[in-house]
């Protein structure tokens, strides 16, 4: 195969993981939490969007009764839903003082099934046992997700044009960049949650051909931040 062929298909998350779950979370402006979760090994994909409301076709300017949310796909063999929600509660203040921006910045946690619901109960119980207060988070069954505009996806990564330019060799479309695991990690790096060294070490563990991993590492080492 020619090296200029579309290599992105080789690193689509579904090729790497067998046991995937999703989580959808609201914790204020969605830019930072996308970086936060994107840096965690086991997280396959991060996307930002609007959820929890009834307004049809929400946009950033007109999200109606929706909330800014992050949607994660993760490999539950590598990181559990419980770990995800510990990170969620440890990294935002769920109290929405004076209903600031209405529902836009609500602390919101969705579950997709009974197991996730049970995991939430368990984490809440442990938190209370540790003396932490009951968070003022709305907990609800998952009811859908509206993908936000491209400019909001991987927001901090996009502050670095050279990173976006280098990644476009592997991920030519917005959609591919949005869905990319590497872009999620680098979005975490752009916000200071991880280091290039940690990302490289993680890539070396991935179940991919050695040649592809080498090319991927070479590419991200060329990025000028």
In the region spanning residues 201 to 220, those forming contacts with ligand MHO, defined by CB under 6 A, are none
Residue 31 contacts ligand MHO per CB under 6 A:
yes
Whether 143 is catalytic is no
Cβ closest to ligand MHO, residue 105 vs residue 111: 105
In degrees and rounded to multiples of 5, residue 96 shows phi and psi of -95, 85
Cβ closest to ligand MHO, residue 17 vs residue 152: 152
Number of chain positions touching ligand MHO (CB under 6 A)? 5
Cβ closest to ligand MHO, residue 149 vs residue 165: 149
The residue range among 23-31, 164-172, 176-184, 190-198 that interacts with ligand MHO, by the rule CB under 6 A, is 23-31
**Position among 10, 22, 29, 166 found at the interface with ligand MHO (CB under 6 A):** 29
Per-residue DSSP letters for the chain? --TTS-GGGGG-HHHH-SSEEEEEEEESSSHHHHHHHHTSTTEEEEEEEEESS--SS--STT-TT-EEEEEEEEETTTS-HHHHHHHHHHTS----GGGTTTTTT-EEEEESSHHHHHHHHHHHHHHHHTTPPPP--EEEE----EEPPGGGTTTTGGG-HHHHHHHTTT--SHHHHHH-HHHHHHHHHHTTSS-HHHHHHHHHHSSS-HHHHHHHHHHHHT---
User: Any idea which residue has 């009974």 for tokens?
Assistant: 114
Site mask for ligand MHO (CB under 6 A), range 123-162, x = bound: -----------------------------x----------
Residue 89 contacts ligand MHO per CB under 6 A:
no
Residue 110 contacts ligand MHO per CB under 6 A:
no
Instruction: Considering the candidates 10, 20, 29, 147, report the single residue annotated as catalytic.
Output: 29
Q: Give the contacts of 225 (CB within 8 A, at least 6 positions apart).
A: 160, 162, 163, 190
Rg (CA), the chain: 18
In the region spanning residues 59 to 88, those forming contacts with ligand MHO, defined by CB under 6 A, are 68
Q: Give me the least distance between CB of 31 and ligand MHO, in Å please.
A: 5
Residue 30 contacts ligand MHO per CB under 6 A:
yes
Q: Give me the least distance between CB of 105 and ligand MHO, in Å please.
A: 7
Binding-site ranges for ligand MHO (CB under 6 A) = 29-31, 68, 152
Residues catalogued as catalytic: 29
């Amino acid at each position: 195969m020619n090296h200029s062929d579309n290599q992105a298909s080789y690193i689509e998350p579904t090729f790497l993981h067998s046991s995937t779950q999703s989580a959808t979370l609201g914790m204020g402006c969605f830019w930072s939490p996308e970086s936060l979760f994107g840096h965690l090994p086991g997280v396959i994909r991060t996307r930002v969007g609007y959820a929890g409301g009834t307004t049809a076709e929400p946009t950033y300017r007109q999200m109606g009764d929706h909330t800014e949310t992050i949607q994660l796909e993760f490999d539950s063999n590598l990181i559990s839903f419980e770990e995800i929600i510990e990170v969620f509660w440890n990294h935002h203040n769920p109290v929405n003082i004076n209903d600031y921006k209405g529902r836009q910045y609500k602390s919101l946690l969705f579950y997709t099934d009974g197991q996730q619901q049970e995991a939430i109960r368990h984490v809440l119980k442990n938190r209370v046992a540790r003396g932490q207060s009951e968070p003022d988070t709305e907990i609800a069954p998952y009811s859908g997700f509206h993908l936000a505009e491209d400019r909001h996806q991987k927001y901090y990564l996009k502050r670095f044009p050279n990173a976006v330019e280098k990644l476009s060799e592997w991920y030519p479309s917005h959609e591919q960049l949005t869905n990319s695991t590497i872009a999620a990690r680098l979005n975490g790096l752009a916000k200071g949650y991880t280091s290039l060294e940690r990302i490289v070490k993680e890539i070396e563990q991935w179940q991919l051909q050695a040649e592809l991993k080498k090319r991927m590492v070479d590419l991200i080492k060329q990025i000028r931040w």
